[in-house]
């Protein structure tokens, strides 16, 4: 009898208390790396969200699987291929703007005006076959600087910039003139090898960099829970300053608490620093202020690899104020 009374009381209490299960939260996903860093302020200051950091190689599954993310950070090239129609998701804004840097054991500076001086030289490029290579080749093409990819047995050219695909472990051990790699790899390598930072891919591309990763949100969430979305966006503003004021162990703990099981984070207490935070190029820019830049970025990538990206439909951009 006592058990029955207890069960009835528990049932009544559950009906009186406000619901607080995950059905009332919005799921937020980001790939490991700079996008994960961009969420630290939101994770620590927002309620009503379930934050998840997953591997960069599986982030596409959270916008295409059965249980789709409510809000997600995606590389813009991947988003263009998967959700660019604007029917299921809309882009809220760009969040990272280029984390690839040139380092060398020599001391010089590579800019849009001086990149031609690299003709005949060799750049070891991490991710030459993916986004870094696409952006570098599109930029060189835009600047009318010839390049030669050292793949499939191609020989070094004295009349072009030579691009050699490499892995991060090869940095410092090859006969090349400079390296291009992402943060935090490039930060750690430059420090360990006493190499100089001699330029950045984002400044070579243009003054404001390029829209590397974007924030997208389910169309239904924008229609039914806009205040929660605005709350999240408010905590994406000023993220770099927020991170620079925090202790490194605290940042790492915040990220670790949201990591998918078994994932080793890109950033840890050994490689996260003021330099790597700044080199992550984190800044939220609303869609209404950057949609033309994103369209231009897509067009440039298509000019070197038609199938690497798809054109984005106008409906993909959420142009209201947040």
Tell me the pLDDT tens digit for each residue of 125-148: 999 999 999 999 999 999 999 999
**So what's the pLDDT on residue 67?**
77
**94-124 pLDDT, tens per residue?**
999 999 999 999 999 999 999 999 999 999 9
**What pLDDT score does 305 carry?**
94
φ and ψ of 37, to 5 deg: -60, -35
As separate numbers, helices (DSSP H) first and strands (DSSP E) second, the chain gives 13, 12
Edge-first strand order for the sheet with 49-54 is 49-54, 26-31, 71-75, 213-218, 89-96, 282-286
Domains defined for the chain, CATH in brackets: 25-97+211-316 (3.40.190.10), 100-205 (3.40.190.10)
Helix orientation angle between 131-142 and 287-304, rounded to the nearest 10 degrees: 90
55-87: per-residue pLDDT in tens? Answer: 999 999 999 988 799 999 999 999 999 999 999
Q: In terms of Cα–Cα distance, which of 26, 22, 20, 37 is closest to 71?
A: 26
Strands lying side by side in the sheet with 161-166: 147-149, 161-166, 122-126, 178-182, 100-104, 196-200
Question: Which residues does 141 contact at the CB level (< 8 Å), separation at least 6?
Answer: 147, 300, 303, 304
Residue 86 near residue 313, CB atoms below 8 Å: yes
pLDDT at 24: 72
Whole-number pLDDT of residue 66 = 82
Q: Distance between CA 56 and CA 213 in Å, rounded? A: 12
Q: What is the pLDDT of residue 2?
A: 37
* Cis amide bond preceding 215, omega within 30: no
> Average of pLDDT values for 241-267?
96
Confidence check: pLDDT of 1 > 60? no
**202-234, pLDDT tens digit by residue?**
999 998 899 999 999 999 999 999 999 999 999
pLDDT on residue 8: 39
């Amino acid at each position: 009898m006592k058990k029955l009374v207890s069960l009835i009381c528990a049932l009544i209490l559950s009906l009186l208390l406000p619901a607080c299960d995950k059905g009332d939260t919005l799921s937020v996903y980001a790939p490991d790396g700079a996008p994960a860093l961009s969420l630290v302020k939101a994770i620590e200051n927002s309620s009503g969200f379930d934050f998840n950091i997953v591997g960069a190689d599986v982030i596409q599954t959270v916008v295409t699987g059965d249980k789709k993310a409510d809000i997600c950070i995606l590389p813009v090239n991947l988003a263009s291929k998967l959700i660019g129609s604007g029917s299921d998701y809309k882009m809220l804004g760009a969040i990272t703007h280029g984390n690839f840097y040139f380092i060398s054991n020599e001391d010089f500076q590579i800019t849009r005006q001086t990149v031609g001086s690299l003709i005949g030289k060799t750049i070891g490029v991490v991710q030459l076959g993916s986004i870094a290579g696409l952006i570098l080749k599109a930029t060189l093409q835009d600047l009318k600087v010839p390049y030669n990819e050292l793949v499939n047995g191609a020989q070094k050219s004295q009349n072009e910039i030579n691009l050699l695909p490499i892995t991060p472990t090869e940095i410092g051990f090859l006969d090349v003139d400079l390296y291009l790699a992402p943060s935090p790899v490039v930060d750690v390598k430059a420090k360990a090898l006493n190499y100089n930072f001699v330029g950045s891919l984002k400044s070579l591309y243009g003054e404001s960099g390029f829209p590397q990763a974007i924030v997208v949100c389910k169309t239904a969430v924008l229609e039914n829970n806009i205040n929660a979305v605005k709350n999240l966006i408010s905590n994406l503003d000023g993220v770099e300053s927020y991170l620079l004021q925090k202790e490194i162990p605290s940042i790492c703990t915040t990220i670790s608490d949201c990591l998918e099981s078994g994932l080793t984070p890109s950033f840890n207490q050994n490689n996260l620093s003021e330099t790597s935070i700044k080199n992550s190029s984190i800044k939220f820019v609303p869609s209404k202020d950057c949609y033309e830049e994103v369209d231009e970025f897509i067009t440039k990538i298509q000019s070197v690899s038609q199938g690497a990206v798809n054109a984005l439909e106008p409906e993909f951009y959420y142009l209201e104020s947040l």
